[in-house]
Amino acid sequence: MKKVLVISWFFPPINSSEGLVTFKLLKNSRLKYDVFTQKKSKNWAYNDNENKLISKNVSPIFSKCENPSEWIADGVKFFEDNKDKYDVIMTRSMAPESHEIGLIIKKNNPNVKWIASFGDPIANNPFEVLTAEKSPYEVKGQGIENFSLKYIFSIKRVLKNLYWKYRYNKCKHMQKNRDLEKQVLMLADRIILNSEEQKEYMLQGYSKEIADKVVVLPHTFDEDFYNYDLDNDNKKIVMSYIGHCDDIRTPKNLFDAIQRLKEEDINLSKKLEVNFYGNLSVYDKAKIIDNRITDIVNVNKPVSYFESLNIMRKSNWLILIDANLGKIMDKNIFFAAKVADYLGSRRPILGISMLDGPSAKILRETNNILSTFSADEIYMHLKMILEKKYCVGEYDNSKFDAKKVAKDFDKMVNELL
Amino acid sequence: MKKILTIVVPMYNTEKYLKRCIDSLVYDEKIVDLLEIIIVNDGSKDNSLNIAKEYEKKFNGTVIVIDKENGGHGSTINEGLKVATGKYFRVLDSDDWVNITDFSKFVCELKHLDVDLILTNYSRELIFSGEQIKVNYPEKIEYNHIYDLNKFNYDMLDGKYFYMATSTYKTQILKDIKLYLDEKTYYVDMEYNIFPITNISSFIYLDYDIYRYFIGRKDQSISAKSFVRNRKDHEKVIKRLLQFLDNAKLNANKKKYVVGIILQLLNTHYSIYCNTLIDDKSLRKVMKKEIKEFDFYLKNKYADIYNQALESYERIRFNSKTKFRYAVKSNYWLMKIALKFERKKKVNR
């Protein structure tokens, strides 16, 4: 069989969730891969990983492009120059330009089989919807502050609104993404999504034919990467969060819960150590100081992937914080790749998430602890954890084992051919 | 050991929340033996019953599970009350929970109390923002002071009343009045809040923030859509409370209190019909007919209450005056504009 060409803007050694997800899948597959990638842009990535992320069946090919728009032309050219080598191409969604390459290749070479793999949705991404700034002149959605009829119907307001939309055309950008995602879903031969919730969200309004092309493959962990001999020798109960936090995915309520714990039971709070590794917003950093919990919460720099796995093993508990998308939807459709790595570490998890969504479902199924964003509820769980009233024990994580998922992936590719 | 507090936990398809609810109750080992937690499964179709049974096994003697066919929220409280043996009685919905610190102190304090009703504070937990809104009674009501409810000045409550989330009753009182809540009906918590008042003489207000009321689920009975869907239940409860007002032997003081609550319910009821944007035109027509009929019923049968409602609430007054011309198709702003228009017309005349 010929090789599969994977086109992914992020791939190791760059330390990015997107690239690591792809790598774990390919490494455990029995097929051979060329991965067209780049190693210059570290936007949405944390530095480089040490050179342990290599596999015999995976050969990265590095483009010299520095921005995603040049990358499209370069990717198409690479395929056209080497098309005899490949039967199947697979593109990853972050950045969406990889899918644009797939789209062009598919249009030019209809016989090539194309697998479009999505991390997050491109169109209607709830994060983008949530962060999209509203025009202060927009009546719909009540962006305006002046509700007088005279102002609402004034030409001045209408023109200002149009100019604002032209100037900050995030809407246009979102429409472009919607068009791209639609074309990808229509033309790709197989679509990989990471959860049923994502499938339900992305395929709203699409036909059954499109749904039939979808294969749900969850994020994975790779057992080979863990040092299971590592254990926590700290006398305190160490809880760790690894990854990116921002204004939407924020630990502020966890910090409130820790503050209350310290106020109400100082001796118990002395048993707790909470470590964050990765980005934390300035507001959250300030909150640690405001809440006077700097003796409990430590903020650390991002770490390499292998170091993060070691930290997981050395922690008593792992913390998952999801984005609170409650303003716009009932469930969180995102499946954070770290959940799979957490499960691989076989450590108990305290998840702070919405009550529905992939993370919530997984945490329930594996008998881990799921909390809403309520500081009061988080406080209760913290007390239970510190007083050792929770016994999560061994859980079944086999569904997320990269070897198992890669087997399903191989089966899908073989069927496609 | 004699149980000091019975907590009835009505349960219907709440597998996602039940653990949190029960864990919060049994958190403190010191008080577990003092509690009787009766989980009443109201015909759940999910895994709630199995989870509840695990707790029954683990906390044998404290947790009791009753499994029954679906009969609505009221039916679960009726069932729980039948078997309750604790000196005091309260209800905790299975999607809610208690503040572990204050609950523990509260139960310890119950041992030394002998009053008919104990009021505590509660907090609303907004599901999608993680925010907490504390709900306290006005400062005029003193903590730890035993009040005589027959002489109590209800104006001190500033429109608040004894909520399910704040009230702990002496069990015997509920048994004495043969408390029976309507079955297969929503909003019967209002019956639970009002019916016991006939036999309550004393109450105390304690400075504990116990109940955590989880708000914001779309399928919750207090969501706008649920109010529209279950509007007939809301009407049924109002009518039952009006009937209670007719039949119960209440002194003037208590009567004033009950009327105050009914007026609030009427305001909500008229709002369901007059402040809800309904897409379905046929439903609009039906709802308009319903509210007109209800208005006619109230005006004729309970003229006093009707007049008080007109005086107290702008929305009721406005809709009555305009003969529900704007009912079921207007939102708040449209109604405000229409109200201005109506006033202008009046001036011109």
Among candidates B27, B125, B216 on the partner chain, residue whose Cβ is nearest the Cβ of A376: B125
Distance between A84 CA and the closest CA of chain B, angstroms: 52
Q: How many CA atoms lie within 13 A of B204 on its CB side?
A: 15
Helix (H) or strand (E) holding B204: strand B202-215
Contact A376 B212 (CB under 8 A): yes
Contact A384 B101 (CB under 8 A): no
A-B contacts at Cβ under 8 angstroms:
54
Predicted confidence band of residue A116 (pLDDT cuts 50, 70, 90): very high
**When comparing pLDDT for B201 and A156, which is higher?**
B201
pLDDT of residue A376: 96
A375 in contact with chain B, both atoms CB, cutoff 8 A: yes
Contact B212 A377 (CB under 8 A): yes
Contact B27 A253 (CB under 8 A): no
CB A8 within 8 A of CB A44: no
pLDDT of residue A48: 66
* Helix spans in B154-212 (H): 171-176, 189-194
Predicted confidence band of residue B34 (pLDDT cuts 50, 70, 90): very high
Residue of chain A whose alpha carbon sits nearest to that of B22? A380
Distance between A249 CA and the closest CA of chain B, angstroms: 12
- ipTM of the complex, rounded to two decimals: 0.84
Q: Comparing C-alpha atoms, which of B150, B149, B120, B147 is closest to residue B134? A: B120
Query: Rounded mean pLDDT of B95-100?
Result: 96
Chain B residues whose beta carbon lies within 8 Å of the beta carbon of residue A389: 27
Residue of chain A whose alpha carbon sits nearest to that of B131? A374
CB under 8 Å to A9, separation ≥6 — which residues?
Answer: A18, A37, A38, A41, A68, A71, A92, A94, A95, A97, A98
Predicted confidence band of residue B346 (pLDDT cuts 50, 70, 90): low
Lowest mean pLDDT among A218-232, B107-121, B216-230, B322-336: B322-336
Residue A369 DSSP label: E
Predicted confidence band of residue B330 (pLDDT cuts 50, 70, 90): low
In whole angstroms, how large is the CA radius of gyration of chain B?
A: 21
A324 in contact with chain B, both atoms CB, cutoff 8 A: yes
Chain B residues whose beta carbon lies within 8 Å of the beta carbon of residue A327: 128-129
Contact A326 B123 (CB under 8 A): no
Chain A residues whose beta carbon lies within 8 Å of the beta carbon of residue B125: 372, 374, 376-377
Predicted confidence band of residue A237 (pLDDT cuts 50, 70, 90): very high
Contact B128 A374 (CB under 8 A): no
Burial of residue A166 (number of CB atoms within 10 Å: 0-12, 13-18, 19+): exposed
